[in-house]
Amino acid sequence: MKPLFIVGCGNMALTLFAYFKEFYQVVGFAVDDNYRTTDTFLDLPVHSLEAIEKNTIPEQSHFVVAIGFQDMNEVRQRKFNELKHKGYLPAKLILNPQITQHNVSIGAGSAILDNTSIHAGTVVGENTFISTGVNIGHGCRIGNNVWINSGVTIAGDVVIGDNTVIGVGANIGNNIEIAEYNFIGAGSLVVKTTEKYDTFAVRQTEKLAIMSKQFLQLSNIYRSR
């Protein structure tokens, strides 16, 4: 298998390691010196990202950036561009093999997890993360450095701008453009074209003035009628 190192050693690195190890030989992790607090992670070495060339060969080594969407994905973007500029090879992960049979293009360094559906004619950019259970309609254009969480639904012919973050269970209407650097919170519904840096969030569901056990008892009484 092709050698791969994972940038990061937190929860995202733990998540992607479980998937990438099935397709690549994971040789270690790499983080910035000021975040390097251990020599090993998951029984593999943790290298200094600033000195990564001492431990790997650029033209022969793949990498994936396993960092969250801090600073609207700009941290992920910087690490990706720096390593690509040094000659390292961005790894790609597509867990649903049917995706590539539907005239779908996936950019370098992107990871698409299980139970996700992407319909015909859609293009996904570089260094984009798409989590589990996402549905993306036909003819969409997903930009670079985008983060799409679990359970998101994106209708057909939608454009998602670079560095946008879409939270769990959000819904995007058809034939609109989500501009760059948008933050679309969990459970949001967006049906109109947006502007750069727009933010969407829904209010938390109202807390009822009743204790949980009492509510369950009342619910059972209602169902039994």
For residues 130 and 114, give the distance between their C-alpha atoms in angstroms, rounded to a whole number. Answer: 9
Quote the pLDDT of residue 164.
98
Closest CA relative to residue 142, chosen from 101, 104, 116, 113: 104
Quote the pLDDT of residue 222.
55
pTM: 0.94
Query: Which numeric CATH code is attached to 93-200?
Result: 2.160.10.10
31-42: string of b/e by CB count within 10 Å (b at 16+)? beeeebeeeebe
Helix (H) or strand (E) holding 105: strand 105-106
Residue length of the chain: 225
Where are the chain's structural domains? 3-90, 93-200
For residues 188 and 203, give the distance between their C-alpha atoms in angstroms, rounded to a whole number. Answer: 9
Quote the pLDDT of residue 74.
98
Sort strands 44-48 and 40-41 into parallel, antiparallel or unpaired: antiparallel
The mean per-residue pLDDT over the stretch 193-221 comes to: 91
The mean per-residue pLDDT over the stretch 34-61 comes to: 96
The string of pLDDT tens digits covering residues 113-172 is 999 999 999 999 999 999 999 999 999 999 999 999 999 999 999 999 999 999 999 999
The mean per-residue pLDDT over the stretch 50-57 comes to: 96
Strands laid side by side in the 147-148 sheet: 93-94, 111-112, 129-130, 147-148, 165-166, 183-184, 199-200
The mean per-residue pLDDT over the stretch 51-74 comes to: 97
Tokens of 155: 């209708």
The mean per-residue pLDDT over the stretch 210-222 comes to: 81
Average pLDDT, the chain: 96
> What values do phi and psi take at 106, rounded to 5?
-120, 125
| Cβ 23 vs Cβ 55: under 8 Å | no
97 vs 58, higher pLDDT: 58
Quote the pLDDT of residue 224.
57
For residues 29 and 7, give the distance between their C-alpha atoms in angstroms, rounded to a whole number. Answer: 6
Architecture of domain 3-90 in CATH?
Answer: 3-Layer(aba) Sandwich (3.40)
Most confident of 35-39, 107-111, 214-218: 107-111
> What values do phi and psi take at 51, rounded to 5?
-120, 30
Quote the pLDDT of residue 223.
60
The mean per-residue pLDDT over the stretch 34-38 comes to: 94
For residues 93 and 78, give the distance between their C-alpha atoms in angstroms, rounded to a whole number. Answer: 20
For residues 171 and 81, give the distance between their C-alpha atoms in angstroms, rounded to a whole number. Answer: 30
